[in-house]
Chain A
């Protein structure tokens, strides 16, 4: 078995999204895992990206304003009238 070329930090930070997306080749995934096991700095970088994703997800607000809801009820009523 040949050893895979090492993945340096500068490459890690560009591959990390493909890693999170499960889009790396088997070899590159192995290189990334090997690097992650050896490099606390990149492990920290990955954690920061995960924190970033979590913060972004918190921006999701699920309210529809009453005005908009009212207007959409009108849209629905118009459609139902068109249909019958």
Chain B
């Protein structure tokens, strides 16, 4: 594992971040290359949750890097470098979305999703409230997933299923889940980037994760 890769739940250490910033400010292309390798794949996936095509997402990522370079002298380190870069990305993506006429502000999308009713598991799978012994306990418990070589889906197919299900999530859930569970950003970073409260961020994450689990159960344990 490269020393530059951030921990799954944190940013880079302050010392190395400061060094990287100094190198960038002095125009060191290798430092820029390293930063690009570290963050571009994640930036692309997150951009893709805001705009309609991969090509537009790539343009947004390019604009983001230009924004990062142009703003590098003003970056004061009040957030981690990673959070700052992702905030530039979401701002560009939002602007782009407006041009594409497909945006509803992220806050509106999030509010809409949060306002919907949700249960992690079909309520029919629990015993009724008036059950004499086990109210609200499992009637149809989670089915065991078959991941053996004889299983209905191969590992590669399972991963494709997860990918498809993530793509099918409502946009705010998709953005939160992508940042948290694919890119490994921590909850504080995601709240800062998407301007969500900690509670709402958790609700969106919960809904997204629960739906992916349900889909896996439906396919791996039909």
Contact = CB atoms under 8 A, between A and B. Distances in A.
B213 A72 contact: no
B53 interface: no
B166 interface: yes
Interface in A1-34: 8-11, 13-14, 16-18, 21, 23
Contacts of B61: 68
A83 B27 contact: yes
- How big is the B interface, by class? 35 or more
Nearest to B205: A17
Contacts, number: 124
Interface of B: 27, 29, 32-33, 36-37, 40-42, 58, 61-62, 65-66, 69-70, 119-121, 123, 126, 134-138, 141-142, 144-145, 158-159, 162-163, 166, 177, 181-184, 187, 198, 202, 205-206, 209-210, 212-213, 216-217
Interface of A: 8-11, 13-14, 16-18, 21, 23, 39, 41-42, 44-45, 48-49, 51-53, 55-64, 68-69, 71-73, 75-76, 78-80, 82-83
